[in-house]
Structure 1
Amino acid sequence: MKATAPRTKPTAAPRKATATHGALLAALACVLVGGSFTANSVLGHYPYAGGQFLRYALAGLLLAPLAGRAGAPRLRALGTLQWVRLVLLAAIGMVGFNLAVIAAERGAEPAVPGVFVGCAPVVVAVLVPLLGGRRPQRAVFHGALLVAVGAFTVQGWGRTDGPGIAFSACALGGEVGFAVLAAPVLRPLGPRLLSATVCAVAAVEAALAGVVLDGGAWLRRPDATEAAALLWQAAVVTVVGFVCWYMGMQRLGAERATLFSGLIPVAAACTAPLVGTGAYGPVQAVGSALVGAGVALGSGALGPVGTLRRPTARRHARP
C-alpha cells in the first residue's frame, strides 16, 4: 500500500497575496478620486444635484450588467436594517459628502475640507473596532495619524469661517460613513452589486434634493466640456473607483482600506499643475512621503509591526 505523504504547514503566501491585491485596488480607487478633482473644477457652474444625478444614474446603468443574475435575489434577501444602511450610505457618504464639500468651499479654501477629510483614517481606525467590540489596532492607529499629518502637509491650511469649518466637519462625517456604513452590507452583496445599488439609490436622492433645492433649474443639458467631465466621473471614478474600493475593503477591512484615502490629496496635488490650479513642490513631496509611510505602517507593508492580526499557529496534520 502506498504511503500517504505528510501534509506541509500552510504558508502565508496566499494571505499576503490577497492583502497586496487589496492594497493595490484601494490605492487605485483613491488615486482616481483624487484625480477627479480636476474634473470637478470644470463643473463649478453646473447644478450640483443635476450633476450628481447624471453621474450616479449613468454609473448605475453601467454597473447593472456587472452585478450578475443573482443580484435581484440577493437584494430581496436584505433585511430592513440593511436597506436603511444602503440609503444612509448613499445619502451621507455620496450625495451628502459632495454637497458638504461644495458648501464648505463657499466660505473656506479647498484645503480646509481636504484637511478634515484627511482625518478620516484616524476616526475609522478607532470607530470600526469599537463598534465591533474590540480594541483599536495600535499599528493601524499610528499609521492613520501619519496619513492625517501627511494629508495636512500636502494641502496646508487656508482661509475659512465658521460655516466652512462646520461643513468641513460634515464632509469628514460623510467620508467616515462611506466606509463604516458599507462594511456590514459588503459581505452579502459583494463589491459590484453594492456599487450598483448605492449608485441607483444616490441618483434618486440627488434628483429629490435637486427638486427641493433648485426647483425646475436642477437639471440642464451639459456642454461638451461638462459632459466629458461627467462621463469621466461616472464611468471611471464611480464605476471603476467604487468597485476597486469595495474589493480592496473586502480584502483589507475598513480600517486598513481607509488608510489609502490619504492618497486622495496626494493625487489631487500631483494633477493640479496639469490644469494650472496648483503646484507640486518640496512641501507636497514631504507630505506625500508621510502619507506613504502611514499607509505602509498601518497596512502591514513594513512587516510584523504593521500586521493587524498574527496568523494563528496550526498543528501539523498526522501523516
Structure 2
Amino acid sequence: MRNAVADAATPPRLAAVNGNGVAGAATAMFVVGTLAGVSGLIKDYPLYGGQLVRYLVASAILLAVTRALGLRFVRLTWREGLLLGGLALLGLALFNVCVVESARASGPALVGTVLGTVPLGLALLEGRPAPRLLAGAAVVVAGATLATGLGSGNLTGLLWALGAWIGEISFSMLAIPLLPKLGAIRVSAYSTALAVPMLAAIGLAQEGPGMFRVPTAAESLGFGYLAVVVTVVAFFLWYSSLPRLGPGRAGLFAGLIPVGAIVTGLVLGVATPSAYDLLGAALVIAGILVGLSASRARRPLGGGRGRRDA
C-alpha cells in the first residue's frame, strides 16, 4: 500500500526499494536479529562504550547520506523537537541501557521474551485493530516467546525489560508524527545524532573513562556491521516501511528478530536451533501472514500534513 505521506521527504528511487513496506520491515527486523552473530567480536569491549561507537559511526554515515542526497535541514516545531528528543532518549539511548541491565540481571532470555510482545503492543496502540491483526500479533508473540527460550528471571531484570519494551514501542510510535515531514533518512540521522551525547553521558556514569579505547581489528569489524547494517540500513528500512504498513502491521515483523538470531547462529555454526526454536520461527511466520491479511483503513499516519521535502 502506498500513499503520498509514506513517500514524504524520501527520494523516489530509495522509496521504491521497500515496495509496499513488507520487504523493508521484514528485512529490517531480521537484520536486527543478526547482531547476535557479531556479539562475540565485541564481547570484551566496554558495553556502553560500544553503544557509543555504534551510534557515533551510524550518525556520521546517515548525516553524510542526508547531505549527499541534498536533503536540507528542516526546522522543527517545539512539539516535533520534543518528539525527536523523546525518540532518541527512549527509543535509542534508554532502550539500550535497559536491554544491557536486564541481561545483566536475568540473562538475555527474559528481555527477549518481553520484547517479543511488542507486536501486540503496537497492534493495540494503532487504534481499532482488526481482530485478524490482533490474532496474528498474538501468534507472533507466542512464536517469539518460544524462540527466545521462555525467559525467566528476577524482579530487577523484569523491570529493566519493561523499560526496554517502552523504548521499543517509542522507537516506532514517536517517529510516526515526524516521518511525513522529515522522511526516513532524516528521522534516522537526527535521532542517532541526538542519542550520541546521551549515550556518552550514560557511559561515563556507568563505566567511567574506561569506556573509551581504540577497538581491535575484530572489534572494528563488529562495530562496522552494527553501525552500517544493524543501524543505518535497518533504521532506514524500518522508517520507510512504518508509514506504509501502520504500526500494527509493521509491528508483526518484530517477531523476526529472534528468527534472525537463530538463522545467523546456524549459518555461522555457533548454535544449532532446537525444536522449540524452529516451532517458534514457524509460529512467527504464520502470525505475520495472518496479521497481514487483515484489512487496514486507508488513512495517513502522522496527520498527513507534512511537507514533501526531497
Per the TM superposition, whether the score is higher than 0.5 is yes
1:119 maps to a residue whose letter is T
Asked which structure has the greater CA Rg, the reply is: 1
2:98 corresponds in structure 1 to: 100
Q: CA deviation at 1:35?
A: 0.4
Q: Is the 8 A contact 2:59 2:192 kept in 1?
A: yes
2:63 corresponds in structure 1 to: 64
1:237 maps to a residue whose letter is V
1:112 maps to a residue whose letter is L
Of 296, 304, 310, 1:308 maps to: 296
Q: CA deviation at 1:153?
A: 1.5
Of 208, 213, 216, 1:215 maps to: 208
Q: How far apart, CA to CA, are the structure 1 residues paired with 2:221 and 2:17?
A: 35
Q: CA deviation at 1:299?
A: 1.8
- Amino-acid identity (%): 34
TM-score by length of 1: 0.83
Q: How far apart, CA to CA, are the structure 1 residues paired with 2:268 and 2:100?
A: 20
Q: How far apart, CA to CA, are the structure 1 residues paired with 2:266 and 2:156?
A: 29
1:181 corresponds in structure 2 to: 174
Query: CA 1:139–1:215 in structure 2 vs 1: closer, same or farther (change >3 Å)?
Result: same
Deviations 1:251-290 (A, max 9, x none): 1112211110100011111222345553213322221111
1:49-128 to structure 2, matched below 5 A, reads: 49-67=48-66, 68-72=69-73, 74=74, 76=75, 78-128=76-126
1:315 corresponds in structure 2 to: none
2:35 maps to a residue whose letter is S
Question: Does the alignment pair 1:239 with 2:232?
Answer: yes
TM-score by length of 2: 0.86
Q: Matched residue of 1:21: which SS?
A: coil
1:196 corresponds in structure 2 to: 189
Deviations 1:194-227 (A, max 9, x none): 1111110111211121222222222111111111
Deviates more, 1:107-116 or 1:257-266: 107-116
Q: CA deviation at 1:100?
A: 1.1
> Where do 5+ consecutive residues of structure 1 fail to align?
1-11, 130-134, 301-305, 312-319
1:80 maps to a residue whose letter is W
Q: CA deviation at 1:232?
A: 0.4
1:257 corresponds in structure 2 to: 250
Q: Is the 8 A contact 1:32 1:237 kept in 2?
A: yes
Q: How far apart, CA to CA, are the structure 1 residues paired with 2:41 and 2:17?
A: 38
1:157-172 to structure 2, matched below 5 A, reads: 157-172=150-165
Query: CA 1:310–1:50 in structure 2 vs 1: closer, same or farther (change >3 Å)?
Result: closer
- Number of residue equivalences: 286
Deviates more, 1:236-245 or 1:94-103: 94-103
2:185 maps to a residue whose letter is R
Q: How far apart, CA to CA, are the structure 2 residues paired with 1:13 and 1:122?
A: 24
Question: Does the alignment pair 1:289 with 2:308?
Answer: no
Q: Is the 8 A contact 2:58 2:227 kept in 1?
A: yes
Q: Is the 8 A contact 2:119 2:251 kept in 1?
A: yes
Q: Is the 8 A contact 2:18 2:240 kept in 1?
A: no
Q: How far apart, CA to CA, are the structure 1 residues paired with 2:184 and 2:298?
A: 26
Q: How far apart, CA to CA, are the structure 2 residues paired with 1:94 and 1:41?
A: 22
Q: How far apart, CA to CA, are the structure 1 residues paired with 2:136 and 2:92?
A: 25
Deviations 1:126-154 (A, max 9, x none): 1232xxxxx23222211110110010111
> Where do 5+ consecutive residues of structure 2 fail to align?
5-15, 300-310
Q: CA deviation at 1:57?
A: 1.5
1:6 corresponds in structure 2 to: none
Q: Is the 8 A contact 2:20 2:245 kept in 1?
A: no
Q: CA deviation at 1:45?
A: 2.6
Q: How far apart, CA to CA, are the structure 1 residues paired with 2:268 and 2:17?
A: 36
1:71 maps to a residue whose letter is R
Q: Is the 8 A contact 1:140 1:308 kept in 2?
A: no
Q: How far apart, CA to CA, are the structure 2 residues paired with 1:82 and 1:216?
A: 34
Q: Is the 8 A contact 1:19 1:252 kept in 2?
A: no
Q: How far apart, CA to CA, are the structure 1 residues paired with 2:198 and 2:268?
A: 32
Deviates more, 1:63-72 or 1:229-238: 63-72
Q: CA deviation at 1:160?
A: 1.3
